[in-house]
Amino acid sequence: MSLEKILSISGKPGLYELKTQTRSGFLAESLIDGRKISVSGRHNVSLLSEIAIYTLTEEVPLREVFSKISEKENGGPAINHKSSKDELEEYFFEVLPDYDEDRVYASDIKKVVQWYNLLQKNGITQFTEADSSEEE
Protein backbone atom coordinates (compact mmCIF):
# COMPACT_ATOMS: atom_id res chain seq x y z
CA MET A 1 0.00 0.00 0.00
CA SER A 2 1.29 3.45 -0.90
CA LEU A 3 0.93 6.77 0.88
CA GLU A 4 -1.73 7.82 -1.68
CA LYS A 5 -4.31 5.86 0.35
CA ILE A 6 -3.16 7.00 3.82
CA LEU A 7 -4.97 9.96 5.41
CA SER A 8 -4.58 12.28 8.35
CA ILE A 9 -7.93 13.58 9.58
CA SER A 10 -7.97 16.67 11.78
CA GLY A 11 -9.49 16.03 15.18
CA LYS A 12 -8.92 12.27 14.90
CA PRO A 13 -5.88 10.48 16.34
CA GLY A 14 -3.50 8.48 14.16
CA LEU A 15 -3.75 7.69 10.47
CA TYR A 16 -6.45 6.19 8.32
CA GLU A 17 -6.54 4.08 5.19
CA LEU A 18 -8.95 5.25 2.51
CA LYS A 19 -11.35 2.38 1.82
CA THR A 20 -14.12 3.64 -0.45
CA GLN A 21 -15.99 6.71 -1.65
CA THR A 22 -19.53 7.36 -0.38
CA ARG A 23 -22.21 9.86 -1.42
CA SER A 24 -21.37 12.29 1.37
CA GLY A 25 -17.60 11.67 1.68
CA PHE A 26 -15.69 8.43 2.16
CA LEU A 27 -15.06 5.47 4.43
CA ALA A 28 -11.70 5.17 6.19
CA GLU A 29 -10.17 2.53 8.46
CA SER A 30 -7.99 3.43 11.44
CA LEU A 31 -4.44 2.09 11.39
CA ILE A 32 -4.47 2.16 15.21
CA ASP A 33 -7.47 -0.07 15.98
CA GLY A 34 -8.96 -1.09 12.61
CA ARG A 35 -12.25 0.73 13.22
CA LYS A 36 -14.01 2.09 10.16
CA ILE A 37 -15.35 5.64 10.19
CA SER A 38 -17.38 7.70 7.77
CA VAL A 39 -15.70 10.99 6.90
CA SER A 40 -17.74 13.86 5.52
CA GLY A 41 -16.58 16.76 3.40
CA ARG A 42 -16.57 18.98 6.50
CA HIS A 43 -13.48 17.27 7.92
CA ASN A 44 -10.04 18.63 7.13
CA VAL A 45 -8.30 15.65 5.50
CA SER A 46 -4.71 15.43 4.23
CA LEU A 47 -3.21 12.71 2.07
CA LEU A 48 0.27 11.79 3.35
CA SER A 49 1.48 11.76 -0.26
CA GLU A 50 0.66 15.50 -0.50
CA ILE A 51 2.47 16.63 2.69
CA ALA A 52 5.99 18.09 2.58
CA ILE A 53 8.54 19.32 5.13
CA TYR A 54 10.23 22.71 4.77
CA THR A 55 14.00 22.75 4.39
CA LEU A 56 16.25 25.76 3.89
CA THR A 57 16.26 25.24 0.11
CA GLU A 58 13.04 23.41 -0.84
CA GLU A 59 10.07 21.39 0.39
CA VAL A 60 10.87 17.68 0.84
CA PRO A 61 7.93 15.29 0.33
CA LEU A 62 6.96 13.35 3.46
CA ARG A 63 7.63 10.08 1.60
CA GLU A 64 11.32 11.07 1.31
CA VAL A 65 11.50 11.95 5.00
CA PHE A 66 9.98 8.54 5.86
CA SER A 67 12.51 6.85 3.54
CA LYS A 68 15.37 8.64 5.31
CA ILE A 69 14.04 7.59 8.74
CA SER A 70 13.69 4.02 7.48
CA GLU A 71 17.27 4.11 6.16
CA LYS A 72 18.57 5.46 9.47
CA GLU A 73 16.67 2.80 11.45
CA ASN A 74 17.34 -0.07 8.98
CA GLY A 75 13.58 -0.45 8.47
CA GLY A 76 12.89 -0.55 12.21
CA PRO A 77 10.92 1.80 14.44
CA ALA A 78 12.09 5.36 15.08
CA ILE A 79 12.55 7.21 18.37
CA ASN A 80 9.42 7.40 20.55
CA HIS A 81 7.26 10.39 19.62
CA LYS A 82 6.84 11.11 23.35
CA SER A 83 10.56 11.84 23.73
CA SER A 84 11.60 15.31 24.85
CA LYS A 85 11.50 18.25 22.44
CA ASP A 86 15.32 18.37 22.35
CA GLU A 87 15.64 14.64 21.62
CA LEU A 88 13.07 14.86 18.82
CA GLU A 89 14.76 17.89 17.25
CA GLU A 90 18.19 16.26 17.48
CA TYR A 91 16.83 13.06 15.91
CA PHE A 92 15.12 14.98 13.09
CA PHE A 93 18.30 16.96 12.44
CA GLU A 94 20.12 13.64 11.89
CA VAL A 95 17.43 12.54 9.43
CA LEU A 96 16.98 15.87 7.60
CA PRO A 97 19.95 18.13 8.45
CA ASP A 98 18.72 21.16 6.50
CA TYR A 99 15.13 21.27 7.78
CA ASP A 100 13.88 24.81 8.44
CA GLU A 101 13.87 25.15 12.22
CA ASP A 102 11.76 28.32 12.01
CA ARG A 103 8.90 26.68 10.09
CA VAL A 104 9.07 23.05 11.29
CA TYR A 105 7.92 22.95 14.90
CA ALA A 106 8.55 20.28 17.54
CA SER A 107 4.87 19.29 17.23
CA ASP A 108 5.41 18.65 13.49
CA ILE A 109 8.45 16.48 14.20
CA LYS A 110 6.50 14.57 16.85
CA LYS A 111 3.69 13.93 14.34
CA VAL A 112 6.09 12.78 11.58
CA VAL A 113 7.84 10.36 13.96
CA GLN A 114 4.50 9.10 15.31
CA TRP A 115 3.18 8.57 11.75
CA TYR A 116 6.35 6.78 10.67
CA ASN A 117 6.15 4.39 13.65
CA LEU A 118 2.45 3.74 13.00
CA LEU A 119 3.08 2.98 9.31
CA GLN A 120 6.08 0.79 10.17
CA LYS A 121 4.05 -1.13 12.79
CA ASN A 122 1.34 -1.77 10.16
CA GLY A 123 3.88 -3.04 7.62
CA ILE A 124 3.64 0.00 5.35
CA THR A 125 7.30 0.51 4.55
CA GLN A 126 7.18 1.28 0.82
CA PHE A 127 7.53 5.06 0.75
CA THR A 128 8.65 5.60 -2.84
CA GLU A 129 6.14 6.67 -5.46
CA ALA A 130 4.44 3.71 -7.12
CA ASP A 131 4.70 5.24 -10.60
CA SER A 132 8.43 6.13 -10.46
CA SER A 133 9.62 2.52 -10.21
CA GLU A 134 7.60 1.56 -13.30
CA GLU A 135 8.95 4.42 -15.40
CA GLU A 136 12.63 3.70 -14.70
Strand 59-61 and strand 52-54: the pairing is antiparallel
pLDDT over threshold 90, residue 49: yes
Dihedral sign of CA atoms 117, 122, 123, 129 in order: negative
Dihedral sign of CA atoms 98, 103, 105, 108 in order: negative
User: Fold for domain 3-48?
Assistant: SH3 type barrels. (2.30.30)
Chain centroid, CA 100 distance in Å: 18
Average pLDDT over residues 119-130: 83
> Could you tell me the residue ranges of all domains in the chain?
3-48, 51-128
pLDDT for res 130: 54
pLDDT over threshold 60, residue 45: yes
Q: What is the CATH number of domain 51-128?
A: 1.10.10.1650
| C-alpha to C-alpha distance for 132 and 31, rounded to whole angstroms | 26
- Give me the chain's average pLDDT, please: 90
The SS3 assignment for 85 reads helix
- Tens of pLDDT, residue by residue over 59-117, are 999 999 999 999 999 989 999 999 999 999 999 999 999 999 999 999 999 999 999 99
